[in-house]
Homo-oligomer: A and B are copies of this chain.
């Protein structure tokens, strides 16, 4: 492992993903990526008595399926890095509490999957762990209840708002991989806050962080957007993605428009589904990456991608106290060979 440039961590090239799973619910299954999910629940209840328990069950399912997909059992896993949007990260905690796996809780709002995957990769690449899992979850109903209004209230959502995906994703990382999906580089992002205060426009709050991370990564690695088959942002949605492209073009003279896509734009069909500016939530990027994207990599449709997950580090209390919304974006470069 070595540092390149100011912020980027280059791994050995032997740390790879040996198993993964993305799970979703009804709305995710009806979206354009529905067929790629590893498991779909028929509704957001997930067979549980509360939205929070539903999210934990979803999280557990993703971890269980990813572990099986890797040909492992929970006893083979040295550490799991996991987090979610719920207060005190209980979506993760209660989801995996019975698995007896060393547990490191992480919080990066919707960027948590890449934060967890980056940290898990460093642990595995350094020998601190032989096998690690990165996982995250989110749930439309638990997120609405916590961050905005209970669904029963019937609040109207603004055109810039995004729909939290009821979804979870998990990836099993292990050292010693000659071929397959390899985590080549990782970067921990820096908080960016341009003063956005509209909690219904997360895309705008997070776009500057994505721009900063992409710019720093390209600078550190001396690459251009053309060097990647895909630059995939976490969940900026339609509003934030447009802002990101504009920010990079006008301020940094970087044009990512030809290779950019966004998990929040991909997971739902904006024309057919009532999702406003697209998908969001920890589980959006996690499930799209761990199901659709990794499947495409295995089909050799994508050989080198940069995944940049973004998070809005607000809380309901910070918004009520008129604070602006700090954004963050973490990155991993993933190659297939």
Which residues of A does B touch, CB under 8 Å? Answer: 1-3, 7, 9, 50, 52-53, 78-79, 83, 85-90, 93-94, 96-97, 100-109, 115, 119, 122-123, 125-130, 187-191, 193, 313-318, 321, 323, 326, 328, 330
Contact = CB atoms under 8 A, between A and B. Distances in A.
A196 to B, nearest CB: 13
A191 to B, nearest CB: 4
B190 A103 contact: yes
A195 B105 CA distance: 21
Given A119-B119, A130-B3, A313-B93, A191 B103 contact: yes
B105 A107 contact: yes
A115 B104 CA distance: 7
Contact of A87 (B108, B188, B190, B317): B317
Contacts of A317: 52, 86-87, 90
Given A52-B318, A126-B122, A190 B100 contact: yes
6 contacts: A88-B318, A93-B191, A97-B193, A103-B191, A105-B115, A107-B107
Contact of A119 (B52, B104, B130, B328): B104
Contacts of A7: 78, 102
Contacts of A323: 94
Contacts of A102: 7, 187-190
Given A53-B321, A321-B53, A315 B107 contact: no
Contacts of A52: 317-318, 321
B123 A328 contact: no
B88 A109 contact: yes
Contact of A90 (B9, B97, B315): B315
